[in-house]
Structure 1
Amino acid sequence: MKKLLTLFSLVAAFVLVISGCSNDSSGGKGEDGKVTLTAWAWNVNVGALNEAAEKFKKENPNVELKVEDIGRLDVYDKLSTGLAAGGVGLPDIVLVEDDRIHGYVESFPKGFLDLTKEGFDKHGESFPQFKNDMAKVNDTYYAMPFDAGPTGMFYRRSVFEKAGVNPEEIQTWDDFLEAGKTIKEKTGAFAMPLDKFKDDPTFRMMLNQLGVYYFDEKGNIDLTHPKAVQAMEMQKKFDEAGLIKDVDGWNGVVSATVDGSVATIPFGAWYYGTIIDQAKDSKGDWGVFQLPAFEEGGNRAANLGGSSWMIPAASKNAKEAYKFLEYFSTTPEIQTMAMEKHGLFPSLNTAYESELFTANDEFFGGQPIWKMFTEEMADVPTAYYTKDYSLGLDEAIKAQADTFNGKDAGKALEEAAKRLKDRTKRDINKH
């Protein structure tokens, strides 16, 4: 009997601890009727949330927001742990990168608030199709689109001028290949940087502009698609011509940006912030043009990066969290603030009506660079990530390394697809 009482006491204590964690995680209403929402985010997103919350409070004085600045990967560790525990310890609001949304919803189908039931679908036309596709699973919104990463070729004006290359004449990747050879010969600068054996951002951008990705719309492995092979073969052409500077991770890309050893950096619009922060002395020496197409008149739009906001279903303040996030995500002035002060390029198309998105940028030689990025958004194809995105990324990088080491691109991707099939049990799309 004594043992049973001891066991019961332990269980009761455990329940109290769990309940306490759950209550603390989402604030809750105080005796004065005020609600404290908790949010998990990282980096510049924290400042954007806090500023939006101050403006929101003017019309909603009963709502407070407590933002926890947590490292990106730490957010995912804590989120996964909380979801696996049935929602214990989770916040009311969490920032999630677009490539992870579908994976979380597929793994935890009841883990997040159904935003369609809350009425968010009425805002669908305010966002580009690809962001809507990322925010929805089976036509149901589980996330509110936030920032995006429309892509471009950030380039050094002085390097192009010294080589006698006009960026406006670069329409295709073949054009850029020839321009890169001229630039290397006359200036010594590489065409672009890449951590060739650890990351594949250029390959991902190429896939996206071609309308394919690691997986297709049905979730089948699509690495053997002819367009995927085309993209990998194009990268190989640049490598064989000695035009890719092999760098060590993110710091290597930034170093190449600062020292001018590369003529261009193909990246998302968010890289603007890194350039103006890390390469201050190069003000006026920058420009940007769209990704080259694979054929004359082909698509030049793609996206790299971006995130959205989600509300864990366990939130005790889901109603208030939804109201705040709806305000944050669909108010042009708020999205313009996030862009102007924090460099977060908005997905909300009504925000583009601000002068900010048509103004000339002095750091970029007076070019209205944001106009180019905003016009690109509507043409970005949807990338299908699935919950196995990280495994797809891993195998694509291996295929890229094999290709750069001399293997045929088609063969390398075929082998990667087979390994991915073994790891995910997904079918390979036959072409």
Structure 2
Amino acid sequence: MAEPPMDRRGFLKGALGVGALAVTGGALAACAPTAPGGASAQPSRLARPTASASAKGEITIWNRSGDLFKVFDAAIAKFREAYPGVKVNHQAVDIDAKLANTLISGTDVPDGSFWDDARIGGQAEHLFDLTDLIAPYREQTSPYKLSVNTVEGRIYGVPWDLDPGLLWYREDILQDAGIDPAGLATYDDLLAAARTIKEKDPKTRPIHLDKNPFLGQLWLEMLANQQGTSLADAQGRLRLDSPEYRRIFTWIQSAVKEGLVTHAPYLEPADVNTLESGQQVFVPWAIWWSFAPQQLLKATKGKWRAAPLPAWTPGGARSGAMGGSSFIIPAKAKNPELAWLLYEFLCFKEPGYTAVYGPNPVYPGGLSTSIPSYQPALDPDKPLFQPIDALGGQDLWKISVEAAATIPAAGPIPWWWAQSVDYLGDNLQRLMEGAMTPDDVIAESARKIQRNLIDRS
């Protein structure tokens, strides 16, 4: 498949979908969602429209600029064929900077918008309650995507992408070391494989650990999600002090002490250089790491492969979610029923999801940095995107779909999640540097998150 050029800034903001992620000058910075304050209005419930192909009207839809905007623009053209009476004003907007304030002011709100899952829970009072609309599709939608869009039992986002975690590895180096990737069933197996590679070539530091606090914490949540937990439960109570998080932190500590990790910022030059040189061999990361071999890794293009993540315990889940986005309909939208018809078409209807993920003018082989969250679209034998030349022709679709089927549900993402990076994300970096213990990370992070964020809300 021919891989089109991809702008890295646009990719990170469009495909990542990881909360309030700002990209400036190659640096990544987090900005917290606005917390609801004062007396909250009862969210409006949107009933199922009776509109059909004869529906008429006009809607304004916001999306981020970049390649993903172009993908949705082409998919919206398919929607217009199904609903010729609906005019869609599709606008590229700096959503992170504009949407929250627009919802709060209630002025010039769009009829619908793309938004990161991490932002939705904090703005539920300004959004339509979509529970009744999602109901027909609920049993066939990823439990994880439903859980992160749910606040107090009600659903406020139309689930779009699912970003399963995968284990990316250098096939050639594993072959030289006599390691069968199929045998990497647990994280203990991964440590053992890293030791074998390091013994063969002492200059290697095989396992990638990310040096960015925000992405490091997002990665941590993927590993926690694998174990069926998350930073907060459905009631917003902190659950960092748990066997699941302690298991992750202890594993990181072991890998660091044994010199098995490369601690580098995500796809910055130091990271790319060590990936190309063979110093890094394993990258446990989301499906959207496929961007790296397709666009950035020149010397090792075609040598990388993907496998399910190892499990934390034998027989445990082989994937967790890392990031994600959905669609919201503001409570003050002028034509919410028509916005729902668009999102229903894109997420739950054929040819809508095929128009998004299948071959298109932007990605001739299809969009391969996430997969749909709607299970009928996830037939492992009917790929929406094609095998990828940069992965040696590997069928990433089938691997991702099978991994995604194991992702557990989670709790709603609390409004303070991005702010907690100042505590947990920073302390995680100290653990990776060998400057804190697992108990230190848990105790200090939990104390500060509880005192400075949860108790003040």
TM-score range, shorter chain: 0.7 to 0.9
* Distance in 2 (alpha carbons) for counterparts of 1:193 and 1:231: 14
Question: Which structure 2 residues correspond to residues 164-313 of structure 1 after superposition, within 5 A?
Answer: 164-187=178-201, 188-196=203-211, 198=213, 199-200=215-216, 201-251=218-268, 252-280=270-298, 282-313=300-331
Report the Cα offset of residue 303 of structure 1.
Answer: 0.8
Bigger share in helix: 1
Q: What is the DSSP-based 3-state SS (H/G/I as helix, E as strand, rest coil) of the residue aligned with 1:304? A: coil
1:44 aligned onto 2:72 = no
List alignment gaps of at least 5 residues for structure 1.
1-32
* Distance in 1 (alpha carbons) for counterparts of 2:267 and 2:232: 26
CA RMSD of aligned residues (A): 2.3
* Distance in 2 (alpha carbons) for counterparts of 1:375 and 1:388: 32
Distance 1:34 1:294, change over 3 A: closer
1:151 aligned onto 2:176 = no
Structure 1-normalised TM-score? Answer: 0.83
Query: For the Cα contact (< 8 Å) 2:149–2:157, is it kept in 1?
Result: yes
Q: What is the DSSP-based 3-state SS (H/G/I as helix, E as strand, rest coil) of the residue aligned with 2:347? A: helix
Query: For the Cα contact (< 8 Å) 1:357–1:371, is it kept in 2?
Result: no
Query: For the Cα contact (< 8 Å) 1:116–1:141, is it kept in 2?
Result: yes
Which of residues 399, 414, 421 in structure 1 aligns to 2:450? 421
Report the Cα offset of residue 274 of structure 1.
Answer: 3.3
* Distance in 1 (alpha carbons) for counterparts of 2:212 and 2:342: 42
Report the Cα offset of residue 259 of structure 1.
Answer: 4.5
Distance 1:311 1:381, change over 3 A: same
Which of residues 136, 145, 149 in structure 2 aligns to 1:122? 136
Structure 2 match to 1:132: 146
* Distance in 2 (alpha carbons) for counterparts of 1:316 and 1:284: 49
Report the Cα offset of residue 264 of structure 1.
Answer: 1.7
Which of residues 408, 419, 422 in structure 2 aligns to 1:381? 408
Q: What is the DSSP-based 3-state SS (H/G/I as helix, E as strand, rest coil) of the residue aligned with 1:308? A: strand
Deviations 1:225-252 (A, max 9, x none): 1221111110111111112112134425
Q: What is the DSSP-based 3-state SS (H/G/I as helix, E as strand, rest coil) of the residue aligned with 2:230? A: coil
Q: What is the DSSP-based 3-state SS (H/G/I as helix, E as strand, rest coil) of the residue aligned with 2:324? A: strand
Report the Cα offset of residue 132 of structure 1.
Answer: 1.2
* Distance in 2 (alpha carbons) for counterparts of 1:288 and 1:209: 17
Q: What is the DSSP-based 3-state SS (H/G/I as helix, E as strand, rest coil) of the residue aligned with 1:114? A: coil
Identity of aligned pairs, percent? 25
- Shifted more, 157-166 versus 181-190: the winner is 181-190
* Distance in 2 (alpha carbons) for counterparts of 1:288 and 1:425: 38
* Distance in 1 (alpha carbons) for counterparts of 2:59 and 2:385: 38
* Distance in 2 (alpha carbons) for counterparts of 1:272 and 1:197: 19
Query: For the Cα contact (< 8 Å) 1:160–1:166, is it kept in 2?
Result: yes
Which of residues 377, 381, 392 in structure 2 aligns to 1:351? 377
Larger Rg: 1
Query: For the Cα contact (< 8 Å) 1:329–1:348, is it kept in 2?
Result: yes
Question: Which structure 2 residues correspond to residues 361-376 of structure 1 after superposition, within 5 A?
Answer: 361-376=388-403
- Read off the aligned partner of 2:78 and give its amino acid letter: K
Deviations 1:131-171 (A, max 9, x none): 11122222322111111111101111112122222211111
1:94 aligned onto 2:113 = yes
Deviations 1:1-51 (A, max 9, x none): xxxxxxxxxxxxxxxxxxxxxxxxxxxxxxxx7524232324333122211
* Distance in 2 (alpha carbons) for counterparts of 1:178 and 1:211: 25
1:408 aligned onto 2:431 = no
* Distance in 2 (alpha carbons) for counterparts of 1:394 and 1:255: 28
* Distance in 1 (alpha carbons) for counterparts of 2:318 and 2:396: 15
- Read off the aligned partner of 1:327 and give its amino acid letter: F
Which of residues 114, 118, 122 in structure 2 aligns to 1:103? 122
Query: For the Cα contact (< 8 Å) 2:293–2:390, is it kept in 1?
Result: no
List alignment gaps of at least 5 residues for structure 2.
1-55, 359-365
Structure 1 match to 2:127: 112
Question: Which structure 2 residues correspond to residues 318-329 of structure 1 after superposition, within 5 A?
Answer: 318-329=336-347
Distance 1:280 1:338, change over 3 A: farther
Query: For the Cα contact (< 8 Å) 2:430–2:436, is it kept in 1?
Result: yes
Query: For the Cα contact (< 8 Å) 1:196–1:401, is it kept in 2?
Result: yes
- Shifted more, 165-174 versus 245-254: the winner is 245-254
* Distance in 2 (alpha carbons) for counterparts of 1:49 and 1:196: 32
1:342 aligned onto 2:367 = yes
Report the Cα offset of residue 213 of structure 1.
Answer: 1.9
Q: What is the DSSP-based 3-state SS (H/G/I as helix, E as strand, rest coil) of the residue aligned with 2:371? A: coil
Q: What is the DSSP-based 3-state SS (H/G/I as helix, E as strand, rest coil) of the residue aligned with 2:226? A: helix
Query: For the Cα contact (< 8 Å) 2:109–2:332, is it kept in 1?
Result: yes
Query: For the Cα contact (< 8 Å) 1:41–1:67, is it kept in 2?
Result: no
Query: For the Cα contact (< 8 Å) 1:358–1:371, is it kept in 2?
Result: no
